[in-house]
Structure 1
Amino acid sequence: MPDNLMENLNSEQLKAVLHKDGPLLIVAGAGTGKTHAITQKIGYMIEQGWAEPEEILALTFTEKAAAEMEERVDRLLPMGYVDLWISTFHGFAEKILKAHGLDIGLPTQFKLINEFEQWRLIQKNLDLFDLNYYKPAGNPTKFIEALIRHFSRLKDENITPDDYLTYTSKLHSDLEKSSIDKLKVKSKKLKVGHELTALEKLKLQLKVENVTDDMLGQEVLRLAEVAKAYQIYQQLLLNEGMMDFGDLINYCLKLFKERPLLLAKHQEQFKYIVVDEFQDTNWSQYELVKLLAAKRRNLIVVGDDDQSIYRFRGASMSNILQFKNDYPDAEQVVLTENYRSKQNILDLSYEFIKLNNPNRLEWQLSGAKIMQAEKKASVKTKAKTKEIVTLNKQLKSNQNDQGTIELIAADTFEDEVRLVIDKISEIKNSDKDLSWGDFSILVRANDTAGEFCSELDKRNISFQFLASRGLYVKPIIMDVVAYLKLLDDYHESRAMYRVLNLPFLKFTYEELVNFNYVSNKKACSLFETLRRADHEQYAEETRKKIFRILTLISNHSKMAREKRVSEVVIAFMNESGYLKHIMGLPGREQQENLSYLNQFMKRLADFEQATAEKTVKLFLEELDMEIMAGEEGALSPDLEIGPDTVKIMTVHASKGLEFKYVFVVSMVDKRFPAIGRKDAIEIPNSLVKEVLPEGDSHLEEERRLFYVAMTRAKTGLFFSWAKDYGGARGKKPSLFLVELGLVDKQVVKGTVKKELDEENFVSAKKEAKEQKEIFNLPKHFSYSQLAAFQNCPYQYRFAHILKIPIRGKGVFSFGKTMHSTLQKTFELLRERRDRGQGELFGKPKSDKPQVALDEILKFYEESWLDDWYNSNKQKEEYREKGKSILAEFYRLNKEGWPDNQLTEKGFSLKIRSGSEIHTLRGTIDRIDNLSDKKIKIIDYKTGNPKDKLTFNEKEQLLIYQLAAEEVFKEQVGALAFYYLENNQEIEFKATQADLDKVREKIVGTIEEIKQGDFTATPSPLCRYCDFFDICEFRKS
């Protein structure tokens, strides 16, 4: 643990870190060092011995947030660690269910499905739903999205199909016993505190005067139909071995409630539970953490109700308001020292968010008490009521100077865009220390961003639009999909035209016009036009280009019928010259295109994993269905893509980020705040478990969103709006600008420059040319990374910096299959050994656990990967070879299996270099116990055994020994490579000199990588490199 662990903490952060026992509420305002306080607290708990790393459960909401938290904790643990339970809620629940789901009858190898896969499941089984009220008249699938949204919200509230059906059954019963007239009479006689029936609550929720019995009866039938649809949907998921994200939390709750022993074990394991962004939890998630924390009550929640902006995802702001009721003895820490913004920006934001009172934590824990006290107090004693204040969330900046707050008003949207970009250029040019990355343009919705992107592009200002959707409309992905469509149907002329326009194919405009002319004249497809090129008077150079594209299509069409779609895409990218073309693009374009391509390859991998037939044809069918369902393709924007760029994003996407200058644009009525839209199918209030706030909850959510936008700014905060956005009517300024008091105090008038600012334009253009490639170096390393760099730094750049997709190899698929099979085999052996030792009247301890060959071969079939074999013949040869290897492995071990301790064990090893600590991560295939209380580390290899191992070949196992000794605290007696090809093992022992040498080599290699010099080192080995085709330095 760093010696200065406490030096960087303010008094309130220190108070949070030192808190030891019982519940703790940390109210963390924007920019107050929340993540720093959490990670320091986790590090301190481990250092003080309050808990081991695996005894702390830390939960957050995004993979990115979990990774950042783990990275920070990792830096605080100098000796490394084995297991850190830092994950998303869904990641935690998935891990628990895969280990214990069988205990409540769930398949442990379930498939987690996304929203499109939910849509497809319902669409495929539409006939089973027997719909009447929701029977579609036209488009048979238009209501599926509404059903999925409804089911998701039900799961946020942990409402099961049985709960819903019981509720609708009671409605039927009440309806038979009552009538509207009786309800009216009864409602007049209701006294305060009288419990309404489900039917009475439903009538109130309808908010319609003169509701008739028929109307109410139809509403009950509608709800019964939805409840039945929910039941059918859940049964379909179970039948298919699937779960959606909502299932993860609810089945985890079910598991712990129905299997108290498992709950007790996890309560015993997790001495502390930390929940980040607590204001974003839903009802089910809060129930889960309360259940796990019930024994020790060491529940630490961190959040800010003023930044609760995910109501549309099911987040329940009432959880943070409810926490003090559930844990009245909870210690409360309020972080108000702000390390981000100037004080006037904080003051403006605070005065604005107070408009959400009384539905704020600050008011509920302070204001309510003041008001109650003031009612009872005399004028003389009213001043004393200030002492009752228990929570003050007003943020105080740690900077003395004031920031800039300006309003930009324009006549038209086009003028607004120009003024905003002018202002950005003006500020940038006035301070040479500023970079484009210091500026952010925040929009309420993605469709506002296009004009700003165009203007920045026109001025040669580097920008990055960080949308969360839209992968399928990125040009590179549209190119790839067009080529796949062409392979599926040669005569798809639209696809052919897009492909022919690819710049690296070098068809001229005149050639393309001519092809289209001939195609129309002969009434044939573009493909057919090219195929008949011999009959036309084309130049020789044109014929060569035609021959090349037709040859590519021919080769890849054959491949498309036999190979998986991802193999076809990689072949196209390499053989067409597309990948080489990308590598020649400027830095930002290159990295963005590679990022999009990698995300599309991930989409293909998901498709291939879920589908038996992994062909181009089937993928295109699924993609068409996905687009029909309204899906645009998920995007995972990378903020660290260089070079330095202006960031454009939605306010939602900006959560957790900060910029020196923030521009919140298009601040007009009905855009921000946006128009409130209710769910198409609402949950009946009687079933809702969260405490629903009074007042205009939508407007309050929009205010919180605007508050988030304002508190992203460090130095300058700008708002912009225009009177004319192209519609028939003019626009009014946003209600929020009125509430801020800015509309009548315009600091910047709308003086529009009709021509581009020449000075700013030239400056931006020059800067764009001078931009250097910026590498996002990894925060931790692995043996394979180090080996790649040692082999060739340029290869490392391709593989681990740019992350260029590569074609797999059948031998790697075979290796993964064998690893997985042996892992499952030894897990079963350990389970049987532990069970035998735990049985009081069981078998004698001397009886060693056994596993049958049939069981091993069953694991083999379960683990088999079809990927990347050159042919069916090669695949079957490998399949049979694997069976033979396992049969021999079984024969060699059946009389006495090794005393196995662990398989596939991950580690995080710290290597110190001067004052700097490097992290090395890896996974050990197998660890066995030896008779002298030492361990043996085994690494499987699928190649042929070596007669003698060089130091470089020993390096991997030497690293594993360092991890075992320093992280696992084990003594290592032997290291071994186990060659599966002939079941031969080569064992050796490491000397201290070996360990010192490998440590020195690790440090040296990492230091070289961090220098960012990836100069190629060509050698005869280049021909075996995955990047041979695109490397300009290759040696033949």
Structure 2
Amino acid sequence: MQKFAGWKAGDDSHKFRVTLMENYRSTPNILRVATQVIGQNTVSADFPKKSLSATRSEGEKIRIVELASEEEEARWVAGELQRTHAAGRRWMDCAVLYRQHAHRDELVRELSARKIPFVISRLSILDHPLVKDVLAYLRLIARPFDDIACARVLSAPAWNFQAKDLARLAERAAKRRGTALYDALQAPQSELPFDGTKARLAPLLEFLSQHRKSMRRRTAREIMVDLLEWLEVAQRASGQDYKYVAQLTEFAKEWEPKSDTRGLAEFIEYLDYFEQAGGVIALEDDAPADAVKLMTVHGAKGLEFPHVFVLRVNNRKFPANERPRVFEFPARLMKEGEPAEQFHIQEERRLFYVALTRAQERLTLTSLTEPKGKVPVFIEDILMDPAVRRRDVRQLMPKLPPVPEKAAAKGLASGSLELFPYTEDPAKIFSRIADWAETFHPPPPEPLTLSASAVNGYRTCPQQYLFGYLWSLKEGPRASLSFGSIMHNTVKRILGELRKGNKLPFEEVQRIFELEWRSVGFEDEYQEAEYKKDGIGQLRAFHGATMATPPQILEQEKRFELPLEDNVTIIGRMDQVNSLGRNDVEIVDYKTGRPKKESLAKKDLQLSLYALAAKEIFDWNPVRLVFHYLQDNKVQVTTRESKQLQEAQNMVQEAAADIRAGQFPPKPSPSVCRSCAYKPICPAHEEELSG
């Protein structure tokens, strides 16, 4: 609680500014640490200096605890919660805050194993594994081409699949372009890439086929009721887990009056929009009367707790990585003379300040040991003031004893044999896909062939690389990918004719565009129409500029394979190579997305590998490396030095070594996970069943 001491008038952006002078919530120790942190931000009219005075007496020092691993962090925090409770405090007096949902996963497992009651605030039922199972079946009925949903369904025990069977089936489907996993399942027995009879899949295929045929005559809720009965969810799930599934049916019931068709296809589409908008379907009565509160820092705004733990105060965790910006912030909101990245770190620091000031009596910050002994930036903010460090901070590096028989303990904690009473047949729910993702890492084919997109994909999220490249699971069609392919093919045909000496009139360009157009991946007619209108505009600008100053095209769609050391091969395809005289060339890559920042373009791996291949294979001198952005018909020109080409090779080799070593941990981040097609089967987004 803070006291409103006054307000003052200013310009229109802050006409009524409230100044908070006194804090009734936190101890002076907590406030001094919080003030020290926020003091590292730039003071401006929009973000004035924070100076709060405490009304409470001096309290405990803030604990900064460094731990060796995520597992140790979870064990230590759980132990502290138990000690606090044993000392007479209620569980509900304790809150654990985190920057990202994935940061709580190890702690959730540890709390479950120790039978410590907890509630995850604003946990959507859509994140619950049983709800994900039900939705996977519904998606497969509505969209049989959804390979991600199909993979989750096939990982249920009833279908007797193993991870290797799924990967082999996906590989077989990938070789037959346009073939979905669902279609591959219906191939003759002799063509299926795994042992056993087709009889084990017969009930699944029959159920899906039956409901696909009747889908247009029945409502989504009617199909869902049939599905839940067929899956035996009520009989197999624990009472607590079943609440989540029951809430899904209630959500469908509430959705029906808003629907035009009440059909399954529309319901699935509505759920997609709902999730994209950050919608949450929460259980109203899910919280035990006395339980530890787990929540994001954003969710904790306005709340207060006697004891607060803030997890994972580490670089790239808290503060989190910067998301790609869809617009530029007003210059007046940023520190003058600093890049936009400075605004991001200051926003993260303000959020950290919120986390610190949720604590009333005791505040504990945990961090994992950083590489090379680095100090996390927010911890450094606190410790840089000797007075604060001496008076208000206590640093700990506890040594935890090893956990005996960890694997057995984990299995017991999950309660997989006790949670649900198995009937005679294996369950059609309780997907094993997340467990497979953590353990089934097939070796890559040799020589290891990598493209720039594969290396970038691995560096962004190794788990995503595993699903896409080693499991061969295809993402579904998306508007941006379909549009990019259409524009790419149209530009290729324009330039192909120009290379022959034919300058096509724009009417012919528009005809080619219409012939290339495919409606796959667009969410609705409006989105498709907007993309089509935008495409015509982009092509008109590109056509006018290209016809005015035609390039000297040497090659189009130039493919290459470049062997490196250690049995690694780089593959790629250059959109266009223009001759600049002698052996000098310009390599052009067309983009339909937003322009890259100049600093990123200068070290882009794709252009580096193109330049390397130009030198090593074709004996060209790549003096200009160009990103041509069709969105605004502007070009971004870069070059590469020998040092940069060596760095690119090193990057490829590092990724290759990690891939061969079977290193595929997920790297959850809001900017990547939000649009990731593999999120429904990713272990980083798989909640624990109740136990």
TM-score by length of 1: 0.31
Bigger radius of gyration among the two? 1
- Larger helix proportion, structure 1 or 2? 1
Using the size of structure 2 for normalisation, the TM-score is 0.45
